[in-house]
Structure 1
Amino acid sequence: MGRLIAVAGPTGALEAIRTGEPPPGVDAHRTAPRLDRWRIRLSAADPDADQAIREHLNIRLVCPGDPEWPTTLDDLGDERPYALWLRGPEDLRYACLRSVAIVGSRAASPYGLRVAADMACELAEQRWTVISGGALGIDAAAHRGALAADGPTVAVFANGVDVPYPASNDGLFAEMARRALLVGETPPGTEPNRLRFLVRNRVIAALSRGTVVVEAARRSGALGTAAWARKLGRVVMAVPGPVHSHSSVGCHKLLREEPPATLITRSEEVIEAVGPIGALAPEPGAPVLPRDNLDPTIRAVLEALPSRGGTGPAQIAVKAGLDLGTVNGKLGLLAAAGFVERAPTGWRLTKQARK
């Protein structure tokens, strides 16, 4: 259909379907059987009903060349959608300027759900649009995380934008229609099928600047989205999981294959991978222990105490390289702070200091 529209235009494509005659410049041998199938399907089309639903639910239709059409979809070439149905207040083209797809398993683990929600929330706080497929598991967690931060999020459906699928996400979709954006290639009322789920993955990949796979089994639609992202030259990222988790086998596969996916553990690393040059993720800081804030001399006295048992001030002074008067004074300060205590054999570390 994309090739037919590219050659004949939308009106010419419709006329070719009605007549069954391929236009000049189109491979007639390959196109004629499809024209026959499309003509049968055309008989069931009801544009007036589509228009009525569109007006009732405030759904809009955008096509290539419209102001809201994301030009990133043009990277799909002949496989570019020839129209998109949108429901919600967000502007699709603007939302996709800074966007990341977060996808993964429907049967997600608690670990995966938390990672997806936290990462989406943190990205949304930085005004990055979170794109996903609206499915159970990782997709829904990503959308909810973005909404929790009052940030932008886009769900790409494999059905009409008025059809809540899965039905258990009806409340989520209603909230997204009010605050975010629902996107679909098919007209209102269209039910999903397996092929449509596979086909819509290319749209998720093309709309975003990169795709993060949080959890994925060996056979997973999320891996299909990652494959499209790689084909389109987008950044492919994967979150590692437990080595025994079936839900992370696909992620580990992405990290091992050539070229490997970028390993992601936090939102700052996502922005580093897809954001502007210089947006480097800060190094994760080491945990601050109570002893880290001690004066260097006091810390030297503390470090001179044995890990087990007690010792006298003289032995501590030798190990710390300090005079006995200084050591006695610092031991008093350490005792007041709860780091050391008196013992029959001298001074020893408290349980708190040994942690």
Structure 2
Amino acid sequence: MTDTLFDLCGADPGAVPGEEPGADPEGAAGPLCEEERLARVAVTRIAGPGDEVVGAWLRKHGPREVVRALTEGRPLPGASERRMAGYRLRGQRVDPERDLAAADALGGRFICPGDPEWPTQLDDLGDQRPYGLWVRGRPSLRMWALRSVAVVGARACTDYGAHMAARLAADLAEAGWIVVSGAAYGIDGAAHRGALSVGGATVGVVACGVDVPYPPGHAELIGRIGEQGLLIGELPPGSHPTRSRFVMRNRVIAALTRGTVVVEAQYRSGSLITARRAREMGRSVMGVPGPCTSGLSQGVHELLRGDAELVTDARDVAELVGSIGDDLGPERRGPVLARDLLPPRAARVLEAVPAQGGASGGQIAHAAGAAVDDTLGSLYELQALGFVEREGHCWRLSGTNRADRTVGEG
């Protein structure tokens, strides 16, 4: 299959990295040709996600020449002989057409830099930019990513964390935001379910092939995401996750979205890696506070001690990542009480009525610093409104207002 791939890619067998390659170097203008697409598909089999050495070669020499170098094992700058041997071994089994057919069979596709659907914000990853993305689902990834927010956090989350993630995702989805997460147990799953529960849009970024339901317990959820939203990943069909692939997956979540919200995380949580990468790329980083007694709050609170923003609902998030002037949250204030609507003079008189027992009109006028006649006028107004009541020559708070005054004091 290797010789066939070389023929498709049209690379010059005598080309040497460092010289002008046969393919246009990455970044050249014009649409992506089919040969370059096949070469990029092959690279997803040969090199692991986020391989900066391969990313630098792609940028300098273009995908077709890089595939030839990787499969033939010709020395390339920055790679040890051991690494080159690994590339050669994996390059013997590449079959890009088979991988594309497998993706097509489940309604998937492969997109790369230069495609109209490619989200250009992923270019912020530099040499760690994905070689391409395997996508499952009908919507345009580029369009969805323009108004997207990542909601991530602990796998072993608490009921509080799951509730906050689901509520946050549902409210964001209802406000027209795309919720992005990693399809894992815990906060990720709660976020996806929250968005789906209101008919919203969600994107699952997986650390395996988009045809592999991982974790197995989320097979149904992952299927729903693929049908109602988008599943994306860097690994070709049939690939299974490893610990390092989860770590590298997080950089895609951070780069793809306009901001990252962390809901529950311990100090060594992978979601903190996502937050750090988001901060490095100038994205908004947000955290939902939790109980100070919970170990799952420690990582989030550490973020909040730095330059992360505290958020408690979707309005807070939208204000931080939305368009200036268009996504402002409403002013936050407590409930408006009936006494808040009183005229200033009547409010002063009401404050002068003692909380316990009663007082004469003169005593209340003295406490309020007002004339007796004015005070009596206000007291009769307050009586009509139900704030005070009269017993003989004394005025006292009505039963409800006595309870309110007692609670509010101190």
Q: Which moved more, 1:40-49 or 1:243-252?
A: 40-49
**Is 1:37 matched up with 2:86?**
yes
Report the counterpart of residue 270 of structure 1 in structure 2: 317
Report the counterpart of residue 377 of structure 2 in structure 1: 326
Q: Sort the Cα spacing of 1:169 and 1:290 in 2 relative to 1 into closer, same or farther, 3 A.
A: farther
**Is 1:207 matched up with 2:256?**
yes
The 5 A counterparts of 1:126-165 are 126-165=175-214
What's the CA shift for 1:346? 4.2
CA deviations on 1:166-201 (whole Å, 9 max, x unpaired) are 222222222211211111111122111101100111
When the two structures are superposed, what TM-score results if normalisation uses the length of structure 1? 0.87
Is residue 264–residue 300 contact of structure 2 (8 Å, CA) maintained in 1? Answer: yes
Is residue 109–residue 134 contact of structure 2 (8 Å, CA) maintained in 1? Answer: yes
- Measured in 1, the distance between the counterparts of 2:177 and 2:194 equals 12
SS at match of 1:150: coil
CA deviations on 1:74-105 (whole Å, 9 max, x unpaired) are 11111111111111122111111122212111
CA deviations on 1:62-82 (whole Å, 9 max, x unpaired) are 011111110111111111111
Aligned residues between the structures: 346
TM-align CA RMSD? 2.6
**Is 1:255 matched up with 2:308?**
no
- Measured in 2, the distance between the counterparts of 1:71 and 1:331 equals 64
- Measured in 1, the distance between the counterparts of 2:273 and 2:378 equals 66
**Is 1:230 matched up with 2:279?**
yes
CA deviations on 1:275-299 (whole Å, 9 max, x unpaired) are 2333444431222223224455654
Q: Sort the Cα spacing of 1:239 and 1:97 in 2 relative to 1 into closer, same or farther, 3 A.
A: same
Contiguous gaps of at least 5 residues in structure 2: 1-53, 405-410
- Measured in 2, the distance between the counterparts of 1:244 and 1:43 equals 54
**Is 1:20 matched up with 2:73?**
yes
Is residue 379–residue 388 contact of structure 2 (8 Å, CA) maintained in 1? Answer: no
**Is 1:65 matched up with 2:114?**
yes
Choose from 230, 237, 241 the match for 2:290: 241
Report the counterpart of residue 154 of structure 2 in structure 1: 105
| Percent identity (aligned) | 50
- Measured in 2, the distance between the counterparts of 1:220 and 1:311 equals 62
SS at match of 1:3: helix
What's the CA shift for 1:47? 4.2
Report the structure number with the largest CA radius of gyration: 2
SS at match of 1:30: coil
Is residue 130–residue 146 contact of structure 1 (8 Å, CA) maintained in 2? Answer: yes
**Is 1:119 matched up with 2:168?**
yes
When the two structures are superposed, what TM-score results if normalisation uses the length of structure 2? 0.76
SS at match of 1:140: helix
CA deviations on 1:110-154 (whole Å, 9 max, x unpaired) are 222222222222222232222111111221222222223433221
Choose from 124, 133, 148 the match for 1:84: 133
